[in-house]
């Protein structure tokens, strides 16, 4: 009986070490058992100058917060063993032509599509902020690639964690990415789109500007992506 108890205790402790390590980035102790080259993640920070996206009443620009969260997510997933590809790494968009802002936005979006198509085996995580016509609407909401089971599973778990741990008054649930969103309409990659909060809501804006909440959002996504994709191929098989 003592031997069985000792083995059981050892198993529990071993499992705890793995969970602790994945969640807190102790990469020198534990590395996920998969080939990183077959587990690519495209981290898409929405917008980028000259298209800053939505602008809050205090002048906060969406693209800046998108990039801050994307950088945190990149660091976490890279530490977990994934090969990460960021669509942009600074405040600028990735447009390559166009004289007007509209033309540059079109070029930027087409270049993001090209990155995803070149890496069709990669899982896409797109980071954006939301707005609404009235200031009372609030809360993060996660969308998923329609028809993709693994995308829906990841979106649901990210939403659950955010609602449970960081936004207990958030009643939003996941939805398919709208069919008219150009990027996702033109790629086949499994994907989620995280609308991290509303720049038009005072409480959301305060959180979104804080390093702590940016870290919380990135961690929620990183934890779920890591656990859902470890030990499977990128299609969830």
Non-local CB neighbours of 155 within 8 Å, separated by 6+ positions: 142, 143, 144, 174, 192
Residues 1 and 92 in one domain: no
236 is a domain residue: no
Is 135 inside any structural domain?
A: yes
- Residue 145's Cβ-side half-sphere holds a number of Cα atoms within 13 Å equal to 21
- Flag whether the pTM goes above 0.85: no
Range of the domain at 15: 1-30
Residue 213 in any domain: the answer is yes
Residue 91: give its domain's CATH number. 3.40.630.40
Clarify whether residues 147 and 191 are in a common domain: yes
Residue 234 lies in a domain: no
Are both 83 and 142 inside the same structural domain?
yes
The helix-helix angle for 211-229 and 62-79 (nearest 10°) equals 40
| Residue 85 shares a structural domain with residue 192 | yes
Using DSSP, state whether 47 is helix, strand or coil: coil
Task: Look at residue 208 and tell me if it is in a domain.
Answer: yes
Q: What is d(CA 21, CA 224) in angstroms, rounded to the nearest whole number?
A: 14
Q: Residue 52 CA to chain centroid, in angstroms?
A: 19
Query: How far is Cα 183 from Cα 113, in angstroms, rounded to an integer?
Result: 6
How do the pLDDT tens digits run along the chain, 237 residues long? Answer: 434 444 334 444 444 334 434 444 433 323 444 444 458 999 999 999 999 999 999 999 999 999 999 999 999 999 999 999 999 999 999 999 999 999 999 999 999 999 999 999 999 999 999 999 999 999 999 999 999 999 999 999 999 999 999 999 999 999 999 999 999 999 999 999 999 999 999 999 999 999 999 999 999 999 999 999 875 444 444
Domain count, the chain: 2
Same domain, 209 and 105: yes
Residues 6+ apart with CB under 8 A from 191: 123, 124, 125, 126, 144, 145, 148, 151, 177, 184
pLDDT of residue 12: 40
CA distances from 182 to 106, 110, 198, 213 (A): 10, 9, 21, 28
Tally of residues, the chain:
237
Can you give the pLDDT at residue 233?
Answer: 42
For residues 13 and 105, membership in a common domain is answered with no
Whether residue 167 is contained in a domain is answered as yes
Strand order in the sheet with 40-45: 83-86, 40-45, 123-130, 191-198, 141-144, 175-176
DSSP symbols for 142-154: EEE-TT-HHHHHH
H or E element, residue 195: strand 191-198
| Cα 191 from Cα 150, distance rounded (Å) | 9
Shared-domain flag, residues 113 and 59? yes
């Amino acid at each position: 009986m003592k031997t069985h108890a000792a083995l059981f205790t050892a198993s529990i402790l071993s499992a705890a070490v793995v969970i602790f390590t994945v969640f807190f980035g102790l990469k020198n102790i534990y590395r996920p058992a998969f080939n990183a080259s077959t587990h690519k993640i495209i981290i898409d920070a929405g917008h980028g100058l000259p298209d800053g996206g939505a602008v809050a009443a205090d002048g906060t620009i969406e693209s800046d917060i998108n990039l801050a969260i994307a950088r945190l997510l990149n660091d976490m997933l890279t530490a977990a063993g994934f090969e990460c590809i960021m669509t942009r790494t600074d405040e600028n968009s990735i447009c390559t032509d166009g004289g007007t802002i509209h033309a540059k936005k079109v070029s930027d979006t087409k270049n993001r599509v090209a990155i995803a198509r070149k890496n069709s085996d990669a899982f896409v995580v797109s980071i954006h902020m939301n707005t609404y016509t009235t200031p009372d609407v609030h809360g993060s909401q996660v969308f998923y690639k329609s028809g993709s089971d693994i995308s829906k599973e990841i979106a649901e778990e990210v939403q659950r964690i955010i609602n449970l741990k960081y936004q207990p008054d958030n009643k939003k649930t996941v939805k398919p990415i709208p069919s008219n969103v150009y990027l996702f309409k033109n790629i086949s990659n499994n994907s989620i789109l995280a609308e991290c909060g509303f720049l038009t809501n005072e409480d959301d804006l305060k959180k979104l500007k804080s390093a702590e909440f940016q870290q919380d959002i990135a961690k929620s996504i990183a934890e779920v992506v890591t656990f859902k994709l470890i030990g499977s191929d990128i299609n969830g098989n």
